[in-house]
A and B are shown apart, each in its own frame.
Chain A
């Protein structure tokens, strides 16, 4: 078997298959908790553990997929560019909102990590959690964090944001769509925004302002 699992195509094939299952379950159930990544990642781990395949074998192919994240992050520039009109009109509120939200996120995470006595690597993995995943991973790595932990926490934050943010904002009395958009975007980035609105993959309403811009905050 090892001749199969050591081929880089093994990791790629397993990832594509597991993600397809994740997408299928997500579409069938329509639940934000049934996030494709949240299904694909445990599924792959389960396959590796059951067959006794080393993680290193899987990552021969996994690394190839991972490498595409660099250009994909650069491509985010297009999403920002598409929002340029909205950004120009509301530059200051959006910028300050993202800034305040990001500071609040980093500050409260730091304070709580200290309070619970978490070590430095774990704290570094959590700090960038409300930034969009590719940038969060870079920031986490540069601060001595663990990319895998950051990814899982970012996905969790996105899903929690999708489930809770609209209700919380209503409780706080925030009804302005721009304030809601920036808040959801800053707190839980794209997953939260897309799911919370049930608008599918490309939210084009006022919320999209909040979705795209905080990706760089």
Chain B
């Protein structure tokens, strides 16, 4: 419970800071950045948050159910476009996979060469 309340407080702090920012920024992402900084600097130890964080992380997909149910409201708008949406999702999946995989491979290969040259 204490770990969860720490995470909630951190998130509410992020909400407050985001409200002060002159531009729109997602509070959840700011909260994530803050927590990462706290962990990296050692101000917060992993064991101080991991039980609470894992509880949320392991049940993350459950938390999306209500937002997904709202599709009910929008379904009439997208009914005709379902085949197009599926096609777009599949094509972009292939493009994304290829782009990421080849970039990692090329970068790793270039770095590998660089290291070997140094020796």
Contacts and interface: CB of A to CB of B under 8 A. Distances in A.
A135 B90 contact: no
B107 to A, nearest CB: 4
Interface in A40-61: 40-41, 44-45, 48-49, 55, 58-59, 61
Interface in A45-94: 45, 48-49, 55, 58-59, 61-63, 65-66, 68-82, 84, 90, 92-94
Contacts, number: 293
Interface string B11-44: 1001100000000101111011111100110000
Given A81-B40, A98-B100, A100-B99, A92 B89 contact: no
Contacts of A153: 85, 89
B91 to A, nearest CB: 6
Residue among B54, B90, B99 having the largest count of chain A Cβ atoms under 10 Å? B99
B26 A62 contact: no
Interface of B: 4, 7-8, 10-11, 14-15, 24, 26-29, 31-36, 39-40, 46, 49-50, 52-54, 56-74, 78, 81, 84-105, 107-108, 111
25 contacts: A44-B69, A69-B28, A70-B31, A72-B56, A72-B59, A74-B28, A75-B56, A78-B50, A90-B108, A92-B111, A97-B104, A100-B102, A101-B99, A109-B92, A116-B81, A129-B92, A148-B67, A149-B71, A151-B71, A160-B90, A172-B101, A182-B101, A182-B104, A183-B96, A183-B104
Interface of A: 11, 15, 18-19, 36-37, 40-41, 44-45, 48-49, 55, 58-59, 61-63, 65-66, 68-82, 84, 90, 92-94, 96-105, 108-109, 112-113, 116, 118, 122, 126, 129-130, 133-135, 137-139, 142, 146-149, 151-153, 155-157, 160-161, 164-165, 168-169, 172, 174, 176, 178-180, 182-188, 191, 201, 214, 216
